[in-house]
Structure 1
Amino acid sequence: MVVGVAVPALAWVNWMRAERALRNAQPLPASLLGPVIAAAVTITGALVLLSILFA
């Protein structure tokens, strides 16, 4: 549930950063969503694996 709240918030922040960069003719910033989603998938996979092993 935390990731479900964090992803839209980070998407909005990333959109604001991109808009600011476009207005100032600067390079687009890197997205913040990749590491968050990768960590969430890794942690979820580990929890599923542990629940299968200890069931």
Structure 2
Amino acid sequence: MAEKKKTRAKMEQAKGKAKETAGRAVGNERLTAEGRAEQAKGDARQAKEKTKDVFKH
């Protein structure tokens, strides 16, 4: 299950980066902000999973 959550975090980060890049390319601040927010959500999820791994070992 942890691998599934790690994969989800990576996907959120990638999706956020794509949104941010697209937003910047077309000058859409809202899309850029949404992309940054998704990246942050993915970063937080990844940090949470890494913390869990530390305590498992």
TM-score range, shorter chain: 0.5 to 0.7
Partner residue in 2 for 1:48 = 54
Which residue of the other structure, out of 30, 44, 48, is the alignment partner of 1:38?
Answer: 44
Q: TM-score, normalised by structure 2?
A: 0.53
Is the radius of gyration larger for structure 1 or structure 2? 1
Which residue of the other structure, out of 17, 27, 32, is the alignment partner of 2:23?
Answer: 17
Aligned residues: 44
Which protein, 1 or 2, shows the higher relative CO under an 8 Å CA cutoff with sep ≥ 6? 2
- Cα displacement (A) at 1:49: 0.8
- Cα displacement (A) at 1:50: 1.9
Q: TM-score, normalised by structure 1?
A: 0.54
Residue 11 of structure 1 aligns with an amino acid whose one-letter code is K
Q: Percent identity at matched positions? A: 7
Residue 16 of structure 1 aligns with an amino acid whose one-letter code is A
More helix as a share of residues:
2
